[in-house]
Amino acid sequence: QVQLVQSGAEVKKPGASVKVSCKASGYSFSTFGLNWVRQAPGQTLEWMGWISTLHGNTNYAQNFKGRVTITTDASTSTAYMELRGLRSDDTAIYYCARDDFYFDYWGQGTLVTVSS
């Protein structure tokens, strides 16, 4: 069965960086794109960016351009999202989600807490 398994919770200080992983299984990794979506406490969902797992090209939301990098390692069927210059309002659950347009499978989420 399709699974996206993310890395564990992180606590970071303001200004630091965080790198969250998302390991895919149960399907051919390069067949579907991967997205990162975050959700601040009690808030709606916010799309951060997308990567083509076939070609490696990316598209990022303007809100995150310059601070976020999404990469993949096809040899391990894993995607990564790195967010730099963390601020307190980056405290959120970060999800990876499969597919290029709508998101049919989601990771379990990774809580990133930014606190001094």
For residues 32 to 71, the per-residue mask of contacts with another protein, x marking binding by CB under 8 A and - elsewhere, is ---x--------xxxx--x--------x-xxx--------
Q: Is 29 helix (H, G, I), strand (E, B) or coil?
A: helix
89 near another protein, judged by CB under 8 A: no
Rounded to 5 degrees, φ, ψ at 61 are -65, 145
Q: Specify the stretch interacting with another protein by CB under 8 A; choose among 11-19, 22-30, 81-89, 107-115.
A: 107-115
> Where on the chain is the footprint of another protein (CB under 8 A)?
35, 44-47, 50, 59, 61-63, 95, 97, 101-109
